[in-house]
Amino acid sequence: MPRPLVVIIDISALQHNLAEARRRLPAATTWAVVKANAYGHGLERGMRAFGAADGLALIEPEAAVALRELGWQKPILLLEGCFDLSDFRLAAQHKFEVTIHCPQQIGWLEKTRFDVPVNVHLKMNSGMNRLGFMPQDFSAAYRRLRANAQVGSIALMTHFANADAADNPGLPLAEQVRRFELGSAGLDAPWNISNSAATLMHADMRSHQVRPGIMLYGGTPGAHKTSPAGAFGLRSAMTLQSELIGIQQIHPGDAVGYGSRFIADAPMTIGVVACGYADGYPRHAPTGTPVLVDGVRTRLVGNISMDMMTVDLTAIPTAHHGSCVTLWGDGLPIDEVAEAAGTIGYELMCAIAPRVRVTER
Ligand SMILES: *Cc1c(COP(=O)(O)O)cnc(C)c1O
How far from the centroid of its chain's Cα atoms is residue 139's Cα? 31
Pairing of strands 118-123, 238-250: unpaired
- The answer on 187 and 157 residing in a single domain is yes
Cβ of 221 closer than 6 Å to ligand 1, yes or no, is yes
Question: pLDDT tier at 62 (50, 70, 90 boundaries)?
Answer: very high
Average pLDDT over residues 193-199: 95
Atom 1 (ligand 1) nearest CA:
213
- The answer on 250 and 214 residing in a single domain is no
- The answer on 23 and 104 residing in a single domain is yes
Question: Is the dihedral angle over the CA atoms 258, 264, 267, 271 positive or is it negative?
Answer: negative
> Tell me, what CATH number does 292's domain have?
2.40.37.10
Q: Is 346 a catalytic residue?
A: no
Beta-bridged to residue 250, according to DSSP, are 268
**Tell me, what's the pLDDT at 226?**
61
Ligand 1 pocket test, pick from 77, 79, 97 with the greatest ligand atom count within 8 Å of Cβ, gives 79
Centre of ligand 1 from the C-alpha of residue 211, in Å? 6
- The answer on 202 and 272 residing in a single domain is no
Question: pLDDT tier at 229 (50, 70, 90 boundaries)?
Answer: confident
Centre of ligand 1 from the C-alpha of residue 356, in Å? 25
> Is 232 inside a domain boundary?
no
**Of 219, 248, 270, at which residue does a domain stop?**
219
State pTM to two decimals: 0.96
- The answer on 284 and 191 residing in a single domain is no
**What DSSP character marks residue 41?**
T
- The answer on 181 and 36 residing in a single domain is yes
Residue 106 belongs to domain spanning = 11-219
- The answer on 267 and 158 residing in a single domain is no
Q: Is pLDDT at 299 greater than 90 in this prediction?
A: yes
- The answer on 260 and 159 residing in a single domain is no
Contact 255, 303 (CB under 8 A): no
Centre of ligand 1 from the C-alpha of residue 306, in Å? 31
- The answer on 200 and 295 residing in a single domain is no
| Mean residue pLDDT across the chain | 96
Average pLDDT over residues 45-63: 98
Q: Is pLDDT at 51 greater than 80 in this prediction?
A: yes
Q: Is 35 a catalytic residue?
A: yes
Question: pLDDT tier at 223 (50, 70, 90 boundaries)?
Answer: low
Number of domains in the chain: 2
**Which of the residues 74, 111, 217, 258 is marked catalytic?**
258
Cβ of 209 closer than 6 Å to ligand 1, yes or no, is no
Cβ neighbours, 10 Å, residue 6: 17
Between CA 236 and CA 136 the distance in angstroms is 41
DSSP string, 194-210: E-HHHHHH-TTS--SEE
**Tell me, what's the pLDDT at 187?**
98
**HSE toward the beta carbon, residue 170, CA cutoff 13 A:** 8
**Tell me, what's the pLDDT at 227?**
63
